[in-house]
Amino acid sequence: MAMHSRAISTSGPYLERRDRPGLRLRAAMQTDPGLRDNNEDAGSVDLEHQVFIVADGIGGRAGGEVASALAVEVVRARLAAARPEILKLAALRRDDSQHMVSALLECAVRGAHYEVSQRGGHARHRFRMGTTLDVVLVVGGEAYLAHVGDGRTYLVRDHKATQLTRDHTMAAAMIAAGGMSIEQALVSPLRTVLSNAIGTSDTVRVDLAQQTLQPGDRLLICTDGLYDYFDAQELARALSCLDPDRAIAELVRAAKGRGGHDNITGVVVEAF
């Protein structure tokens, strides 16, 4: 079952699916335009194929909402079609098979980059349209992550939130190069300038990661319109104390109440 939401404020039903003996998944999604007139975010909860996606169309570019929706659908469809092959690889329980699962995930993301680039290149009013993209693929208790842009994926375990992705922004690049402190980056205008995105250039960098899930783990996949308003402790508290549906609804509500300057989208996945 897949859920997609982009243009209106909505909270998906509280969904549940068994991934393997001893591990089940629940997931919920909510998106809201915030105080903006339109919503350029997109997302998907596909429990049948264990694929969870959040994308943020780049503001200020024509077709941002088209780019995010297209990227989400391309990745979801490709991973759904590849699910039988992915399960066969995961059953091998070898390091090289896990690398191959990650390679299939990366291929799906690069396919989205190609499709968004092609769509943008053929429409003058959508030239260089783009989007961020964060994907979580769960297979046999392993969460495979793909990341492009400044969306984020967090792991909440034992009441602590850990950011699993690195922002692809100019400020983050300067921190890595030693040219800016974390404190300076928090107030720098470069913190919102993307250094990497789907569809905006000829090439794209896809960050890949893998996380073994344990019962009680929560994953939060979200856009900057959500995480900008919370520190890690607040995220951990909300995700540890509430079920996924209530947790994401409360976080979106609070983000909007604290400013809501941007579109707000989040997906919560719980292993139990």
Domains and CATH numbers, the chain: 2-271 (3.60.40.10)
Kindly provide the b/e burial profile for residues 203-242, where b requires at least 16 CB atoms within 10 angstroms of the residue's own CB: ebebbbebbebeeebbbbbbbbbbbbbbeeeebbbbbbeb
Region 91-105 average pLDDT: 90
Residue 2 is predicted with a pLDDT of: 46
Residue 260 is predicted with a pLDDT of: 95
Q: With bands split at pLDDT 50, 70 and 90, how would you rate the model's confidence at 178?
A: confident
**pLDDT above 70: residue 107:** yes
**pLDDT above 80: residue 13:** no
Helical packing angle, 244-257 and 232-241, nearest 10°: 140
pLDDT digits (tens, 9 = 90+) for 112-135: 999 999 988 755 555 579 999 999
| Alpha carbon distance 165, 225 (integer Å) | 16
More confident residue, 161 or 179: 161
Instruction: Supply angle C-alpha 222, 104, 204, rounded to 5.
Output: 60
Q: Which two tokens stand for residue 190?
A: 């470069």
| Alpha carbon distance 92, 107 (integer Å) | 20
Three-state DSSP at 120 gives helix
Alpha carbon 158 to chain centroid, angstroms: 22
More confident residue, 108 or 91: 108
| Alpha carbon distance 26, 270 (integer Å) | 5
Q: Find out whether 240 and 220 touch, Cβ atoms under 8 Å.
A: no
Closest CA to 54 of 29, 35, 33: 29
Region 162-173 average pLDDT: 89
Instruction: Supply angle C-alpha 98, 101, 104, rounded to 5.
Output: 155
pTM, to two decimals = 0.90
Residue 20 is predicted with a pLDDT of: 53
Write down the residue that tokens 């983000």 correspond to: 255
Residue 61 is predicted with a pLDDT of: 58
pLDDT digits (tens, 9 = 90+) for 207-226: 999 999 999 999 999 999 99
Region 58-83 average pLDDT: 91
**pLDDT above 60: residue 54:** yes
Instruction: Compute the residue count for the chain.
Output: 272
